[in-house]
Chains A and B, each alone.
Chain A
Amino acid sequence: MKARHAVLAWLAAAAALLGVFLAYLRPDLATTLANQIWNCF
């Protein structure tokens, strides 16, 4: 039972991380960040 909870927790964490990572690859954010970076420095 404990092991199953641990596996579920890790899967949830991995899914959250993957979801956020994919958000960075969305064209609108990529463009904003890219402009931000180049414009700043």
Chain B
Amino acid sequence: MSEVGSLSNGVNPVLLIAVPLGLAFAIPLFALFWKGAAKYIPPAALAFNLVVSVLLLPQVLEKPVIVSIGGWQPPFCINLVAGPVGVLFSAIIALVGLLVSIYALDYIKEGPTEKYHMLYLLLLTGATGVVLTGDIFNLFVFFEILCISSYALVAYLRDKAGIESAVKYLIQGAVGSSLLLIGIGLLYGQFGTLNMADIAEKIASASPISLFVPMVLLITGLGVEAAIFPLNAWLPDAHSSAPSSISAILSGIAIEVGLYAVARVIFTIFGASSILLFLALLGIVTLLIGEMCAFSQNNIKRMLAYSSIGQIGLILFALAIATSYGVTGGLFQLVSHTLAKALLFLAAGYMIYQTGSLQISALEGMGKKMPLTCLAFTIGAFSLVGLPPFIGFPSKFLVVRAALATKETYFIVLICLALLCTVIEGAYFFRVVQVLYFKGGKTNPGPKEAPVTALIPMFIFVVLIVVVGIYPKLVTDVLKSAASELLSRTEYIKAVLGSIL
């Protein structure tokens, strides 16, 4: 392995992929000797990833770390690009993954648990690989690792709903990946390279009409996983039938990684500005559909799943503004959605476990029986709606400000629609909160509080949501440099290919 760039001090980003991948496949071996060992490996691997990402962060804010694998220089090798975007995402993936894996220590009791933990770690390895890689085919491979392990995890409970949703998800996901691969093949046929920076550099010389087909194929293929509007039929089923810890990861990480890949393709590879207005419209349509469907749900997990579709739409809209403010706001909204939605699914998981029902009406009076879990749920819901002092407020504020700052009627009309959706969002979340606290006075001794292993991750999520909500400055610097990495293609190309140009 040869290292290019400033890697003299500090850690190697390859570890972010190699360590969890190796440990994931070691889990069945550990389980041979001691069956209980399996569940402690994902938290250990993800804690390691979190530490490495945090150590890398100050270094990559100055200069992206480029790692070439196999002793060749880019563009002839598979390379990792640990820029601000990549390391920010890998830190979020590791953080959320770590907290959810702590939650799963007690939550996952039935079934072949060692397989659950192995697939879980593989899913997060795939997600980390997607955000760090600089090679478009490697992106496809990691994307498939993410997808295949999530198909299997959706079906983990082996119940009717889980199997049916997994089949739906698998068919749509497989068609999406095939389209993605055709797009990659077309790009390779035109440019003879798979390195994203190299493609981006050569793309200026190609005729726009020959770029249109690969671009559409790539966006469609990745859009299936990112759940952009016409491609999101699998999401509410898959997210609501999976075990709650997996729903948290799918809603909090998998679709965000898909969205990252869409943004990378649009901004870095194609530098396509003409398609942005269309994507902004698509984002708002996704938002409207998601929120309206969420409003009409009686099943709490389906409601949360539809709300994820809505949030993805808002993030896509913010990214499509394509100004520095817009992309910063989009990434901020992405972070806030990840934290809040993971918290909501985790809290809902134990409420469903204790009541044995997915219906919202079954949660009456839970505020008295499970006060801490319900408090966590309420904070997550308030943050998602965008109430201060939670993280959802500064992130939504930034998106609105970015849309207004464009001074274009198009974006201003769309952001008005987005704010209308926030009202719908508020309506259905407050309805759940009302059911939790103000309905049903029955004092039958039934549900108990969630166990400590579930309360600790929820508590950490709540602390993060409140602290970042009060001091958004903690993350905005990182988000700003991440946004500038996404927006400035020439910088990215120079960072990767600088050694040979």
Say whether A associates with B: no
Query: Which B positions have Cβ atoms within 8 angstroms of A?
Result: none
